[in-house]
Amino acid sequence: MRSATPSFSTKERILGVAETLFARHGFAGASLRQVTAAAKVNLAAVNYHFGSKESLIEEVFRRRLDELNRHRLAELAAVQARADHALEDVLDAFIRPALEQSMDSAGGAAFVRVLARAYAEHDERLRKFLSDNYGHVLRDFAAAFARLLPDLDKEELYWRLDIVAGALTYAMADFGMIKRKSDVSERSHREQAAQHLVRFAAAGLRA
């Protein structure tokens, strides 16, 4: 069975449904009974395959973050290899991989919402887990920005990057109150969002 239907195994079905429900109702708001019912698996399957609800949450992150971080650092390296790279290129290297992943798979769009949840939740264990995976990437990007903005002192730069990261998280999660037109596809909606955000953030960083 493992090799016959690998993409629909119990484990992966739980992960996919959990991602969707965590995005919609939060980590505390989505119960294991809701998850297992939607995934059409037994309630005990979560504790059998993942050990606990918290381990399930971490696995939802790990599944996507590893790939996302890898792509971001790869694009950053590619950008920095060009001698004449601009601020917009570095911003694009940070934003675009998240955008791409959010459109790759069915659950990708849900994951960026889950990511935004993680910022809102103050759970210490979850924040540490994310810092271990995300903080390293942010530090590399901060160094890249620092080189492109030599006149900006470090503290001022960190302030602005903080705002950029917050705006990115917000925009990617589509938490805004202004709804997109219904005739604009999800893909072009997110591509426009990334494009606007890059220009907006670049102008703010240069201000």
Partner DNA sequence: CTAACATTCAAACGATCGTTTGACCCGGAC
Partner DNA sequence: GTCCGGGTCAAACGATCGTTTGAATGTTAG
Positions in the binding site for DNA (CB under 7 A): 1-2, 9-10, 30-34, 41-49, 52-54
Question: Residue 165 interacts with a copy of itself (CB under 8 A)?
Answer: yes
CA distances from 63 to 30, 58, 161 (A): 19, 9, 26
Question: Residue 160 interacts with a copy of itself (CB under 8 A)?
Answer: yes
Question: Residue 200 interacts with a copy of itself (CB under 8 A)?
Answer: yes
Q: State which of residues 7, 40, 122, 182 lies at the interface with a copy of itself (CB under 8 A).
A: 122
Tokens of 137: 């990437």
Question: Residue 8 interacts with a copy of itself (CB under 8 A)?
Answer: no
**Closest by Cα among 152, 162, 173, 167 to 198:** 167
Distance CA 186, CA 190 (A): 6
Q: Residue 52, SS3?
A: coil
Which helix (H) or strand (E) segment holds residue 70: the answer is helix 53-81
Tokens of 60: 């939802």
Number of residues forming the site for a copy of itself (CB under 8 A): 46
Distance CA 103, CA 190 (A): 9
Q: State which of residues 161, 187, 188, 191 lies at the interface with a copy of itself (CB under 8 A).
A: 161
Closer residue to a copy of itself in complex, CB, 41/130: 130
Closer residue to DNA in complex, CB, 44/77: 44
Question: Residue 112 interacts with a copy of itself (CB under 8 A)?
Answer: no
Which helix (H) or strand (E) segment holds residue 157: the answer is helix 154-172
Closer residue to DNA in complex, CB, 39/115: 39
What is the smallest separation between the CB atom of 42 and a copy of itself, expressed in angstroms?
25
